Amino acid sequence: MQLFKLDDKYTVVCETKKTRNGFKHEATLLHNGYEKQKAKVCYLNRTWERFTYETVLLRVILHLENVEQEHYKQIINTLA
């Protein structure tokens, strides 16, 4: 399990789990400590990611408003 603190309001908890054909990454977006959104991405491999959990982090913020999405995408891109 790995925590990504995006700012003082949002934190993302990420986990890796085994699947029948490979593995998956799951992310839970927490807003002030309360679960707001979940996302998962299943893989056979993840050679295109710059860092572990990149894709699922980007997916979990998709429900946010466009302005917030762009702000948090920039933060996630600095994690690489």
- Where do the domains of the chain lie? 2-78
pLDDT at 26: 97
Instruction: Record the tokens describing residue 8, joined without a space.
Output: 């003082």
pLDDT at 9: 92
Give the Cβ contact number of residue 27 at 10 Å: 23
Distance CA 14, CA 10 (A): 13
Residues contacting residue 43 through CB under 8 Å, at least 6 positions apart: 22, 23, 24, 25
pLDDT at 63: 87
Mean pLDDT of successive 10-residue stretches along the chain, which has 80 residues: 93 95 94 95 82 93 90 88
* 53 CB burial (10 A radius; 0-12, 13-18, 19+): buried
pLDDT at 50: 85
Distance CA 77, CA 80 (A): 6
